[in-house]
Every structure is written in C-alpha cells, then in structure tokens.
Amino acid sequence: MAECPICGGFNSHFKQLRPSIKEYKISKHFPRDIKNSEEIIKNILLCEHSCFTELHKFEKKVGGLTVFRAKIDGVHIVYAINSKKMLFFLRAFKNFGDYSRFLENDKEIENMANSLL
C-alpha cells in the first residue's frame, strides 16, 4: 500500500505500518456490526479521511498487535495490525460503553485476531 500524506500528519503509528500491510482479514462479527462493511473497509484502506470523524487513532498495543480506531457516524471501528503486517478488522460498535469494554479485554482482541490467521 502506498503511503498516505494525510495519515503522516496525524498518526505516526499507522504511518509506519501502512506501507507494509500485505493483506487484511475480516472477523465474522464485523459485517454483522456495521451494514456497509465493505465500503468502510475500502475507505479505511484508501485513507478516505473525509468520510470519518476519526481515522487511524492509535488505541494501544496488545501482545503483537497494534490496535487502532476509526469513527464514522458515531460508530467506533476497531482494527489491528500484527507483526506480520496483516490488518484485522475486528468489530464495530455504536455504543461507546460496549466499545470501551471490548478495548479493555486484551485477551478477546488477541484471540479474535489469532482466529483469523
């Protein structure tokens, strides 16, 4: 993937990882969580900043994963990149409380990403 000049100004974590992303995987929950998941994924991969309130916001490191968030129309989209440069679209949450609880559960995040390998 080519480097995005806009991402470079906002998030150094994603800027460092983005050019080396080799492939992406989608959890079984993700398409159920958000209606237009294919369009959302495309916009995240293309760094369509105009579509999002927040994009590529670094959340934390979980094991070998770097976890990010995007936000569109009040929906929090959680995705992560592992050390092998694979991007995982994990979940999307309309409720901030559910999003916060998911983000606090490191084991669930790791298990979900590992199940996609």
What is the set of domains in the chain, with CATH numbers?
5-115 (3.30.2310)
Q: Does the pLDDT at position 65 exceed 50?
A: yes
The percent of residues in the chain predicted with pLDDT above 90, rounded, is: 64
Q: Does the pLDDT at position 13 exceed 80?
A: no
Q: Does the pLDDT at position 1 exceed 50?
A: no
Average pLDDT over residues 46-52: 78
pLDDT digits (tens, 9 = 90+) for 84-108: 999 999 999 999 999 999 999 999 9
Q: Phi and psi of 76, rounded to 5°?
A: -95, 120
pLDDT value for 51: 76
Q: Which residues contact 7 (CB under 8 A, 6 or more apart)?
A: 14, 15, 18, 47, 55, 56
